[in-house]
Structure 1
């Protein structure tokens, strides 16, 4: 097993633990009010606030004060994507499991910046560990069956290829071009995620974000941030963060990387990073 995929094991163990809900006869313990175990990052275009989706709910992460959980739900938000102003999609595991129901949220939606959430589809059936919204479509990697899934209406889904991936990203220019990080290395699809082939010459990456144009950001398991300016044909190593990479978000020259111990921020396209928030 490669070094990159050794680091996936703790995540899989954590996911397995989440799949064993508290018995209905017991009151579930109150979730911690502190930010930890970050799974996703995103910037709300309504006000520029950084949001972190975590094992204990969704938090705001302002630059000048402590993180604060949004709303009264503390679901284990595994997949998370900012769709637009105050508009988020997510997935993961409920904080209040329902007896007799598989502990998977399916696709959930918030239109008030994470304060409240509604189920859209696949409740009990899907646990999306990675989500993207581009080309008026939702792309999701379902950890329950190892398949990429795509929906144009957020309710009916087309099942695409089965690939063991840590993360994926979609070209902003072409809905059929998808990049995925796998144990064999970076792979590319040109048919909407139905099939994948190795992307020769690419660094060993675990996280990806194709935010705009031909610029793709990636983070290696060693914490080195790589940037491509030609749609992942070639890459340049930039800055580095300490810790095991867990989440990545990029917008313009702003890049955020979460590890198990901190959220790091860059304002120069990943060249240098400063500590945004230490994690418990």
Structure 2
């Protein structure tokens, strides 16, 4: 089975996008969720700091903080390729219904948790489903699935927020079976991908990849400073595995009961506390651990905030 989830007013000389919101003119803030169920999650993480965990959805951002879920009251864009970093997040996707922003959004950045978006590249051209950023470095990696005005289809990186792009060879892994990817928080040359064939690591900025594990479909990957973390479907089991970036020595996490039709699609590590891990499953269950994976708390059940 194939699991894939990776899809205004212009101010300041066209750099910042706010857009006319269908949600009214209220001040942008996070409020109690209106919907009883959250659908179509496209990413997760800790933008700006480890204070709050966020999910990017078809209907904007949701925040989990102090054991409570809230959602943005406006700017409910369909965020794709959600990539948190130390100053906020990078993303792509589509504007909310009723917005005057161009569709697709191209590559955008927010430093205020979605109140405003800064357009960086390919505004109105490209929707990046596969996008990741080094949390500290800001190094961007994208898989461009269709040609645009500047880039051919392929795997690219940018060290200057999309002003210039380097096309990468991506030897050793097939892009058409890619499921997810992650950039190391500080090492700009270290990037990993999960695919239907396994987990692969590149230490030369994405030109060549070597296997961490092969023969088992992998659905997600993430990094801490010293470790990599990935999830695989191993026979009838879902596994979450940590590996040392130098030795590749592996340690398996204890997990809640997960069925193989509900694999782990997104893994996020709190940048301020690596013992806090949060993962999102295919069916929109979300579990969080604050003790390095010894105990897990379900904070969303099939899209229902708890």
Query: TM-score, normalised on structure 1?
Result: 0.78
Mapped pair 1:189 → 2:202: yes
Secondary structure of 1:227's counterpart equals strand
1:254 aligns with 2:269: no
Correspondence for 1:171: 184
Q: State the partner residue of 2:64.
A: 61
Q: 2:119 is matched with which residue?
A: 119
Q: Which whole-Å deviations, capped at 9, do the CAs of 1:205-250 have from their partners, x for residues lacking one?
A: 211111212x111122453211113447132211224333222101
Higher relative contact order (CA 8 A, sep 6+): 2
Q: How is 1:1-280 mapped onto 2 (pairs within 5 angstroms)?
A: 3=1, 6-8=2-4, 11=5, 15=7, 33-34=34-35, 35-46=38-49, 48-65=51-68, 67-85=69-87, 87-96=88-97, 103-123=103-123, 124-133=125-134, 134-144=136-146, 147-156=154-163, 157-161=165-169, 163-164=175-176, 165-172=178-185, 174-200=187-213, 204-213=217-226, 215-221=227-233, 222-231=237-246, 233-241=248-256, 242=258, 243-251=262-270, 252-259=274-281, 260-278=283-301, 279-280=303-304
Structure 2: where are the runs of 5+ without partners? 8-21, 24-32, 148-152
What is the distance in 2 between the residues matched to 1:149 and 1:225? 28
SS of the aligned residue for 2:65 comes to coil
RMSD: 3.0
Q: Check the 8 A contact 2:106/2:128 in 1, yes or no.
A: yes
Q: Distance in 2 between matches of 1:126 and 1:232?
A: 36
What residue number does 1:20 align with?
A: none
CA 1:199–1:261: 2 relative to 1, 3 Å: closer
SS of the aligned residue for 1:212 comes to: coil
What count of residue pairs does the alignment treat as equivalent? 254
Q: Secondary structure at the match of 1:223?
A: strand
User: Cα distance 1:113–1:98, how it changes in 2: closer, same or farther (>3 A)?
Assistant: closer
1:24 corresponds in structure 2 to none
Q: 3-state SS of the aligned residue for 2:291?
A: coil
Per the TM alignment, residue 203 of structure 1 is displaced from its structure 2 partner at its CA by: 6.0
Q: Distance in 2 between matches of 1:171 and 1:223?
A: 24
Q: 1:249 to 1:268 in 2, by over 3 A?
A: same
